Amino acid sequence: MNLRRAAAATAALSLVLAAGAACGDDESFDEMPMVDGVGGLDGMDGMAGMMGGDPDATPADQVDGEVRSGEFTVLDTAPPGSDDAAGQAWLAQGDDGTTVTIRLTGLAADTVYLAHLHAEPCATDNGGPHFQFEVGGSDQPPNEIHLAFTSDDAGSGEVTVTHDQKVGDGAPSVVVHPATSMDNRLACADFS
């Protein structure tokens, strides 16, 4: 009888864990207190590169392989007061997959920002939809490439993220948003 109870409890626990893992698709970075200062995430060993930033990763502009870069331009959907935002983005692709690095200045101080690789150039609908390895699949990493960082006291921020697959030519731009107002696309950079 005790064994049956244990089996039932195990089954219930397995289901809850499996359901949570399988269905956590909602975009909710702003509810995840996991961003750690400039450069990435903390406490996410083994997942940092997938989830938004890896402080130990080699920045894309220092990676061997094909490296493309672009300057950020402020978009018309940016939050008011974002005119001073500027920076650069790099996209490196090699045998180890894809590395993306963004560096920005002129941001609000001590603020969490998110960025995503996009499927269109900046001139097309401010970057269009998010780049996805499997189009129509999950809107979370690893099917997409997301970056997250917190600006410092001076309004500067940098983050690098890695992915073991190459994006090819499918991700021509990267778009940055404030985490608290995701519908405000702040700045976009084309990789060229």
Instruction: Provide the binding-site residues for another protein, judged by CB under 8 A.
Output: 3-4, 7-8, 10-12, 14-16, 18-20, 22-27, 75-81, 136-139, 180-185
Query: How far is the C-alpha of 8 from the C-alpha of 87, rounded, in Å?
Result: 55
| Least distance from another protein to the Cβ atom of residue 23, Å | 3
User: Which of 7/154 has CB closer to another protein?
Assistant: 7
| Least distance from another protein to the Cβ atom of residue 63, Å | 31
User: Which of 46/81 has CB closer to another protein?
Assistant: 81
| Least distance from another protein to the Cβ atom of residue 38, Å | 23
| Least distance from another protein to the Cβ atom of residue 183, Å | 4
User: Which of 14/165 has CB closer to another protein?
Assistant: 14
Q: How many CA atoms lie within 13 A of 96 on its CB side?
A: 13
Q: Cβ–Cβ contacts within 10 Å for residue 41, how many?
A: 26
User: Which of 8/154 has CB closer to another protein?
Assistant: 8
